[in-house]
Structure 1
Amino acid sequence: MKRGEITCLKKNIRINILERELSVASDSGDEHVASVVQYVKDRADEVKRVSGNVNVLHVAILTALNIADEYFRLKEINKEMCDQLENRAENLISLINGTR
């Protein structure tokens, strides 16, 4: 290990999604992993319900696409909010500097 390098201890956790048992390595807590797994299960169940598709691969791909779409939408919203905050901060700095 290099000096100053932080190591994360990853723990193997057994999960079950779409009737498949997997082992994942995570440095997050059990609660966080359980929440993520439940979220993916819920989204997969939604895909199965809406599409009526029982092919596990199709359900997995559609679920991944839906989650990726949500991620990119939230990422764009986050960027817009950060830009707005940056503009507000710059305006406040200008106001403060202008009053001195």
Structure 2
Amino acid sequence: MDEHDLKQYQININGNEFAVASPYGEEHIREVERYLEEQMNEVREQSDLTSLSQLALLLALNFADEILTLQKRQVDLDELERDLSSMTQRLESALQSRSNAGTGV
């Protein structure tokens, strides 16, 4: 993707208008806008913070935690996938050896 793929959009977060550019289309941008607004409201309800900058910082910390957790899960899934692939290869090899032994090959 390059800068020519970007389209401009206006979003509203917490009563503030922002101009954003994205290659992913309006539907995606509206989904991001809704998600961010929901998360901002949740942080506001769970804390006594009123400053937009403090809310944004706490929200950024929450997002960083989510990202790191998801990255760890992905590493775990990658390890499981490698283990499963290795087991599958060993099983296929064992079955092939057994099949060859039964046919005298």
Common fold, TM-score beyond 0.5? yes
Structure 1 unmatched runs, 5+: 1-5
TM-score normalized with structure 2 length: 0.82
2:52 pairs, out of 53, 56, 67, with 56
CA distance in 2, matches of 1:37, 1:65: 18
Shift of 1:37: 1.3
CA distance in 2, matches of 1:24, 1:57: 19
CA distance in 2, matches of 1:10, 1:59: 28
Is 1:99 aligned with 2:95?
yes
- Root mean square deviation of aligned Cα: 1.5
The CA deviation string for residues 15-51 of structure 1, in whole angstroms up to 9 with x for no partner, is: 1112221111100021111111111111111111111
Equivalent residue, structure 2, for 1:3: none
Larger Rg: 1 or 2?
A: 2
Q: How many residues of Structure 1 are paired with residues of Structure 2 in the alignment?
A: 95
Runs of 4 or more, structure 1, over 6 Å off, are none
The structure that is helix-richer by fraction is 2
Equivalent residue, structure 2, for 1:22: 18
Equivalent residue, structure 2, for 1:32: 28
Question: Between the two proteins, what is the percent identity of the paired residues?
Answer: 27
CA distance in 2, matches of 1:29, 1:87: 38
State the secondary structure of the residue aligned to 2:9.
strand
Shift of 1:87: 0.6
